Structure 1
């Protein structure tokens, strides 16, 4: 049996488990310990005796507790590990440091679209938003009408028409958390710099009224913003005709936008992970964290999200918070999630998913410790509600669910104009109007799903440094922001992945 078959990784000197980088067969010796069972790669093997009730440590942190005595060489997973609450030391703002920016002359640039209000986009789309699910079919028909008329062929400078439909907008309260969340999401997409123009389509009688949104945000009809309702137009066919007419007016204006040199400080990067495995916290996530730190040093912004997937690791972020108040705001979001899951007969450890567990992740604590690595090491400078406009540069956090489409929808609404998505199991995902760069955690998965993956981070296990991989990711971000198409864009992903967070009751 060659040495490669016995590769393992110790992540911290205090860990009592190692990560199997390849399948471990019974009888082989690891650090003087004889492996007692077949252990899949990405999973954990004990290298010290662990008594019942004692903590399991990985990354130097607690990821769970032994439910029975665990012998050295044993497979450590669901059958002998459980999670229960324990005290975390938040040490608010103790590790915060001043923002370190590169000199202006050393900062990177990309070729983007400068909007009239100063924002910078990486894409040049026209969006068709809907106020309510009742308008979804009409919105899709308008997009098809544009396609059938061959209008996009006349305006190659426009990346496409996106019908972004959803399942709510009525059967809800006209005030409160659920309504405000939808309002922020809709306005955020309308204002995202990757949108050259927007048409919003409604039915007319729904709770989420277009007129109210226009009044609250000071919106007026123009050659980059139009609205209509099916009832006012006189039915579906007439609404489609009106929508097509609006597209004919908006397309020439959108097509006039041209790429120009823009500082990388205008990039807002959404950080996502999905279909995570035991390698995610070792390869792709920390490599993306390096890229996020690089972007921050160039004056840009990186958004970490998925609150249920930082659960148990939030103390690593509170220590990096710029102020105690920011750290406490983050902890208050964790407490909200504990209550939210409890009153819906769930628990925070419902995450990780079956696929995560098959890939080697045992508890949400373990998953979270790997997930927060996407956020790099920069000081936490902002904590935002779902879909809230990101108004600070640097590393920030947005409260979102862990479900990838819902989480990314909030980030794009907040202003993200490019997105990086790490995956170990092989998530299929794209995100219009924001291009999604897919990062594979292992070389095998990258080769297996090469038509979906943009960057292979599995070579980190073969000796490529995280710093070098982070630089590769950052270079890819600049190229994609300048117009290079991602694999998910080539496959046509992104229209169906608009999923606003529906928090409240449907009535």
Structure 2
């Protein structure tokens, strides 16, 4: 293992693979060496050549910022001498195409739950979906009755999960925020990992439970804009409707007679569901039925070198087989958006991504910030300095495949191939949108050690570096740090990830599932006015 990783020819900086001290001679991959002038922590950047104040600094072959003072070879390059500059980036509207090649021979398969609408689930949950925060505590009380031995007789039921949130009333129903919440809740009710759903409301909220428990073509006008019967011409509205084979019940606390009465009635409703949900069985399904959500959190200087590109390899293989993967976190592709738009299958797809970037710049400016308020303190401690640098590593999760579609938050994912969903960078909110869109497996990469989990969709956590993996091995599923250690090739870890994705899709539990993490991580994106 070399002391330094040089990611592209012509880069001004390299990444330290160990803690470096002043006076060390740090070896480079070409057999050379750089004399270290400052202490450089593992994962941080070391200058390979002199850079004048005001000149751009390159990593990954791309500009990651400008030198705020003169930089000499061997200097530690970080927030004290590297500043953000939006610069000028040409964003092509498509034109690049990568032909994905998959191996000859049998196609990979997994054992999933095929639903009546044709989609495939990787889990078999009963969900208690709350239409409003007022019913959240009651939903948890009902779900608590199905913990421990209560489900021993139902070995094919993965659990009863309460999906609670902090909204549902006090918002303008036909506003952007109101429609985002409705789309999110509908997406969970219709999710292929949910075989039974109890929609629980208070009874007087702005988002009525009937709007969430509707099947295709069965919703009447509920007096709320955007909540009427699905338009037959609108495929996304139809796909958000609950499949015919999902067991659906709904109730409100006010009609049931209060909290205690609702808990008793809700428990009986779920007990009545369980035999039918338990009767579902896994069947052999083609890899193309996977809808893979791609997310990262607690990133560090190794994220764009190990875990993210290894996940990109697995994503490309799934897409090559005809499956779907979905990149997200729009604020964390800013600075690398040109790499995605160049791969767009049409100018319209590219333009939609650029429009969302523009929306985000206005959105954060209205809140008194800029997109360079990201990276977080933890990201910076791990070696990332500017959002440009962070984004260049983050987009590696998407591999090299063509960009086939761009979705709004929680919009149903209908296109095959590599796609993008507009979400915040805040991990629980981002993954909530991906799951609402239909992701049936999530892979989550982390360098600092995020303890994120997700339900009803399993989340596979991938460590970017070996020290963190060893320190938090009970919270990590895969160690991609071996790529930097020199004990595994990137393709080898990518193949291991694909194998793990298929195993988890077939029912193998992730570490976060073993800890039952994922209920509190259901956080719909809260937008718009609250009245």
TM-score between the two structures when normalised by the length of structure 2: 0.92
Residue 485 of structure 1 pairs with residue 484 of structure 2: no
Deviation at 1:219, TM superposition (A): 6.2
- Counterpart of 2:280 in structure 1 is 257
Of residues 490, 497, 500, the one that matches 1:466 is 490
Residue 167 of structure 1 pairs with residue 166 of structure 2: yes
Structure 2 SS opposite 1:438: strand
Preserved contact between residue 102 and residue 297 of structure 1 (Cα < 8 Å): no
Separation in structure 1 between the aligned mates of residue 204 and residue 469 of structure 2, nearest angstrom: 48
- Counterpart of 1:330 in structure 2 is 353
Residue 235 of structure 1 pairs with residue 271 of structure 2: no
Of residues 3, 6, 10, the one that matches 2:6 is 10
Q: Please, which runs of 5 or more residues in structure 2 have no aligned partner?
A: 27-31, 220-228, 231-240
Deviation at 1:419, TM superposition (A): 0.7
Residue 25 of structure 1 pairs with residue 31 of structure 2: no
Separation in structure 1 between the aligned mates of residue 97 and residue 523 of structure 2, nearest angstrom: 34
- Counterpart of 1:437 in structure 2 is 460
Deviation at 1:147, TM superposition (A): 3.7
| Greater shift in the superposed pair: 340-349 or 238-247 | 238-247
- Counterpart of 2:234 in structure 1 is none
Deviation at 1:220, TM superposition (A): 10
Preserved contact between residue 53 and residue 66 of structure 1 (Cα < 8 Å): yes
Measured at CA, do residues 458 and 243 of structure 1 come closer, stay the same or move farther in structure 2, by a change above 3 Å? same
Measured at CA, do residues 357 and 322 of structure 1 come closer, stay the same or move farther in structure 2, by a change above 3 Å? same
Deviation at 1:199, TM superposition (A): 0.7
Structure 2 SS opposite 1:51: coil
Measured at CA, do residues 100 and 181 of structure 1 come closer, stay the same or move farther in structure 2, by a change above 3 Å? farther
Of residues 403, 413, 433, the one that matches 1:390 is 413
- Counterpart of 2:60 in structure 1 is 59
1:302-324 per-position Cα deviation (integer Å, ceiling 9, x unaligned): 11000000010000000000001
Preserved contact between residue 190 and residue 243 of structure 2 (Cα < 8 Å): no
Preserved contact between residue 128 and residue 199 of structure 2 (Cα < 8 Å): yes
Structure 1 SS opposite 2:112: strand
Deviation at 1:145, TM superposition (A): 2.6
1:144-185 per-position Cα deviation (integer Å, ceiling 9, x unaligned): 23348x541221210100001000111100102101101110
Preserved contact between residue 196 and residue 224 of structure 1 (Cα < 8 Å): yes
- Counterpart of 1:409 in structure 2 is 432
Separation in structure 2 between the aligned mates of residue 98 and residue 43 of structure 1, nearest angstrom: 34
Separation in structure 1 between the aligned mates of residue 442 and residue 14 of structure 2, nearest angstrom: 31
Measured at CA, do residues 219 and 298 of structure 1 come closer, stay the same or move farther in structure 2, by a change above 3 Å? closer
- Counterpart of 1:476 in structure 2 is 500
- Counterpart of 1:500 in structure 2 is 524
Separation in structure 1 between the aligned mates of residue 345 and residue 99 of structure 2, nearest angstrom: 8
Separation in structure 1 between the aligned mates of residue 191 and residue 276 of structure 2, nearest angstrom: 17
Preserved contact between residue 115 and residue 245 of structure 2 (Cα < 8 Å): no
Structure 1 SS opposite 2:522: coil
Deviation at 1:33, TM superposition (A): 3.1
Structure 1 SS opposite 2:195: strand
Separation in structure 2 between the aligned mates of residue 425 and residue 47 of structure 1, nearest angstrom: 26
Deviation at 1:115, TM superposition (A): 1.5
- Counterpart of 1:283 in structure 2 is 306
Preserved contact between residue 139 and residue 201 of structure 1 (Cα < 8 Å): yes
- Counterpart of 1:340 in structure 2 is 363
- Counterpart of 1:136 in structure 2 is 136
Separation in structure 1 between the aligned mates of residue 369 and residue 92 of structure 2, nearest angstrom: 29
Deviation at 1:72, TM superposition (A): 1.2
Separation in structure 2 between the aligned mates of residue 260 and residue 416 of structure 1, nearest angstrom: 19
Structure 1 SS opposite 2:383: coil
Separation in structure 1 between the aligned mates of residue 11 and residue 101 of structure 2, nearest angstrom: 32
Preserved contact between residue 463 and residue 480 of structure 2 (Cα < 8 Å): yes
Deviation at 1:209, TM superposition (A): 1.3
Task: Map 1:16-415 to 2 at 5 A.
Answer: 16-30=12-26, 31-97=32-98, 106-147=106-147, 151-213=150-212, 214=214, 215=219, 216=229, 224-415=247-438
Separation in structure 2 between the aligned mates of residue 107 and residue 297 of structure 1, nearest angstrom: 11
Separation in structure 2 between the aligned mates of residue 11 and residue 468 of structure 1, nearest angstrom: 19
Separation in structure 2 between the aligned mates of residue 71 and residue 220 of structure 1, nearest angstrom: 62
TM-score between the two structures when normalised by the length of structure 1: 0.96
Structure 2 SS opposite 1:373: helix
Structure 2 SS opposite 1:240: helix
Separation in structure 2 between the aligned mates of residue 220 and residue 22 of structure 1, nearest angstrom: 52
Preserved contact between residue 293 and residue 442 of structure 2 (Cα < 8 Å): yes
Structure 2 SS opposite 1:127: strand
Structure 2 SS opposite 1:271: strand
Deviation at 1:14, TM superposition (A): 1.4
Preserved contact between residue 66 and residue 82 of structure 2 (Cα < 8 Å): yes
Preserved contact between residue 102 and residue 298 of structure 1 (Cα < 8 Å): no
1:223-281 per-position Cα deviation (integer Å, ceiling 9, x unaligned): 70111111111211121122112101211110001111111111101101111000010
1:374-395 per-position Cα deviation (integer Å, ceiling 9, x unaligned): 0000000010000000001110
- Counterpart of 2:236 in structure 1 is none
Aligned residues: 501
